[in-house]
């Protein structure tokens, strides 16, 4: 049975309404505004409230004001039952959120009809609310599933490139973490805050594993060469940045609508070997012409290359790594990004140690390369 809360300071009115409603509803009663507010929040919570206006201490207007201010009671329909007959009183009650206005002395048939109508309206409203919640949950689940599929696809593509790359798997995880640290450190910096929004940081971290995907297009005799590359071979090797950019661009053309994370992925893939002084590749961009995402990736990539043991080199001492990056300030790297790195260097070191490649993984890559000496890219 649906529950009706009757609020009236007069015992005879409570008795009259209770007798009228009990054959059809579960009835609860309160003889003051304060008690009504307490009762409205306890089980069984009322489906509708019949509220007197003129009561001592707290009148009906104050009661409905507090009911509507509380999220737990705001949606309970309220019908004023009062001897006040002026249109101004009725308008005031409706303005405060009452659904209807019944004047005393009550007419039983009218009271029952009004209650039935408003309970049906509330039931319909509750159904729509519940249905919307179900739909919202379904949409949220589908969006979450799509994001998971997106992440898995990115990781699969990155691991595909990794099968032909001298680097080991944790490189992807580490560089993602380095980029995130740098981005959060610079998020409020005047030079970067326009780009480093929460969404762009998320997309940048998501797309970072694709930075070297273009290496799948480099021939084995160059990519896996154990010795130093010739000038011609080096020119071929440098094309991996554009190959990665082009692969992502082609994938983007198949999308139904533009995806911002693919734009960021393209920038990272194409420009993460550009240098602040313009001596990088493939386009020789200089300074702020290099996309911010690529500037962040450039430092993250080099830090990881230096601090990690690779199939073709041993790890540099951390002091040497920090010194090398510091010396690259305003030459290879954006100076503000280097400053951010120096401020967060302990976090970089912690990530490098936490996700260090196992000795077995490094040796496995050495077997793949069949030798040592491949140059640092």
Q: Answer whether residue 348 shows pLDDT above 60.
A: yes
Domain 3-132 CATH superfamily: Response regulator (3.40.50.2300)
pTM score of the predicted model: 0.61
Please calculate the CA angle 273-279-281 and round it to the nearest 5 degrees: 35
Most confident of 101-105, 166-170, 195-199, 215-219: 195-199
Give the architecture-level CATH label for domain 163-369: Orthogonal Bundle (1.10)
Q: Answer whether residue 34 shows pLDDT above 80.
A: yes
Of the pLDDT bands very low, low, confident and very high (cuts 50, 70, 90), residue 14 is very high
Pair of tokens at residue 133:
């919640």
How is the chain split into domains, by residue range? 3-132, 163-369
Pair of tokens at residue 180:
């995130």
- Distance CA(108)–CA(246), nearest Å, equals 78
Task: Judge whether 3-132 and 163-369 match in fold.
Answer: no
Q: Answer whether residue 232 shows pLDDT above 50.
A: yes
Q: Is 314 or 349 the better-scoring residue by pLDDT?
A: 349
Of the pLDDT bands very low, low, confident and very high (cuts 50, 70, 90), residue 136 is confident
Q: Answer whether residue 29 shows pLDDT above 70.
A: yes
Q: What would the pLDDT profile of 273-315 be if each residue is shown by its tens digit?
A: 999 999 999 999 999 999 999 999 999 999 999 998 765 678 8
Most confident of 43-52, 219-228, 245-254: 43-52
Q: Is 57 or 337 the better-scoring residue by pLDDT?
A: 337
**Per-residue confidence (pLDDT) for residue 174, from 0 to 100:** 92
**Per-residue confidence (pLDDT) for residue 364, from 0 to 100:** 55
Q: What would the pLDDT profile of 187-213 be if each residue is shown by its tens digit?
A: 999 999 999 999 999 999 988 888 988
Instruction: Give the number of other Cβ atoms within 10 Å of residue 216's Cβ.
Output: 18
For the beta sheet containing 78-82, the strands, ordered from the edge strand earlier in sequence to the opposite edge, are 26-30, 3-7, 48-51, 78-82, 100-103
Is residue 262 a contact partner of residue 252, using CB atoms and an 8 Å limit? yes
Q: Is 10 or 152 the better-scoring residue by pLDDT?
A: 10
Q: What would the pLDDT profile of 80-112 be if each residue is shown by its tens digit?
A: 998 877 778 888 888 999 999 898 888 999 999
**Per-residue confidence (pLDDT) for residue 372, from 0 to 100:** 38
Of the pLDDT bands very low, low, confident and very high (cuts 50, 70, 90), residue 146 is low
CA distances from residue 67 to 64, 71, 77, 340 in whole angstroms, order as listed:
5, 8, 10, 51
- Average pLDDT in the 70-86 region? 89
Most confident of 113-122, 145-154, 307-316: 113-122
Is residue 332 a contact partner of residue 188, using CB atoms and an 8 Å limit? no
- Distance CA(239)–CA(217), nearest Å, equals 9
Give the total residue count for the chain: 377
**Per-residue confidence (pLDDT) for residue 143, from 0 to 100:** 73
- Average pLDDT in the 341-345 region? 97
Nearest to 238 by CA among 224, 221, 217: 217
| 320: Cβ contacts below 8 Å, ≥ 6 apart | 306
Q: Answer whether residue 147 shows pLDDT above 70.
A: no
Q: Is 37 or 160 the better-scoring residue by pLDDT?
A: 37
Beta strand spans in 166-279 (E):
none
Q: Answer whether residue 42 shows pLDDT above 90.
A: yes
Q: Is 11 or 373 the better-scoring residue by pLDDT?
A: 11
- Average pLDDT in the 128-146 region? 80
Instruction: Give the number of other Cβ atoms within 10 Å of residue 161's Cβ.
Output: 23
Q: Is 76 or 154 the better-scoring residue by pLDDT?
A: 76
Instruction: Give the number of other Cβ atoms within 10 Å of residue 100's Cβ.
Output: 18
**Per-residue confidence (pLDDT) for residue 367, from 0 to 100:** 57
Nearest to 299 by CA among 206, 210, 182, 173: 182
Is residue 291 a contact partner of residue 267, using CB atoms and an 8 Å limit? yes
Contacts from 121-126 at CB under 8 Å and sequence distance 24+?
121/77, 122/47, 122/48, 122/75, 122/77, 125/75
Name the pairing type of β-strands 26-30 and 48-51: unpaired
């Amino acid at each position: 049975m649906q529950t009706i809360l009757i609020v009236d300071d007069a015992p005879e009115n409570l008795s009259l309404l209770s007798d009228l409603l009990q054959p059809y509803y579960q009835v609860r009663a309160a003889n003051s505004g304060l008690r009504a507010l307490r009762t409205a929040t306890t089980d069984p919570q009322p489906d509708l409230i019949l509220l007197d206006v003129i009561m001592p201490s707290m009148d009906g207007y104050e009661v409905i004001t507090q009911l509507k201010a509380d999220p737990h009671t705001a949606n309970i329909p309220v019908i004023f039952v009062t001897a006040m007959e002026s249109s101004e009183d009725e308008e005031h009650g409706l303005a405060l959120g009452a659904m209807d206005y019944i004047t005393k002395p009550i007419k039983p048939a009218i009271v029952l009809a009004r209650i039935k109508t408003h309970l049906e309206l509330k039931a319909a409203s509750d159904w729509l609310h519940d249905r919307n919640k179900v739909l919202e949950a379904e949409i949220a689940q589908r969006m979450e599933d799509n994001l998971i599929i997106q992440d898995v696809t990115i990781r699969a593509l990155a691991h595909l490139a990794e099968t032909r790359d001298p680097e080991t798997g944790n490189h992807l995880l580490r560089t993602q973490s380095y980029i995130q640290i740098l981005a959060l450190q610079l998020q409020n910096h005047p030079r970067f805050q326009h780009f480093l929004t929460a969404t762009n940081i998320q997309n940048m971290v998501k797309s970072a594993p694709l930075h070297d995907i273009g290496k799948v297009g480099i021939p084995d005799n160059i990519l896996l060469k154990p010795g130093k590359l010739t000038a011609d071979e080096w020119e071929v090797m440098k094309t991996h940045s554009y190959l990665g950019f082009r692969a992502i661009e082609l994938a983007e053309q198949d999308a139904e609508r533009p995806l911002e994370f693919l734009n960021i992925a393209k920038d990272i893939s194409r420009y993460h070997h550009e240098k602040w002084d313009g001596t990088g590749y493939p386009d020789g961009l200089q300074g702020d012409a290099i996309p911010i995402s690529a500037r962040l990736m450039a430092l993250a990539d080099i830090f990881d290359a230096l601090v990690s043991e690779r199939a073709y080199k041993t790890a540099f001492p951390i002091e040497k790594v920090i010194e090398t990056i510091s010396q690259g300030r305003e030459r290879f790297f954006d100076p503000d990004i280097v400053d951010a790195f120096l401020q967060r260097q302990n976090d970089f070191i912690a990530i490098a140690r936490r996700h260090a490649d196992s000795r077995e993984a490094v040796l496995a890559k050495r077997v793949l390369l069949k030798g040592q000496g491949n140059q640092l890219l």
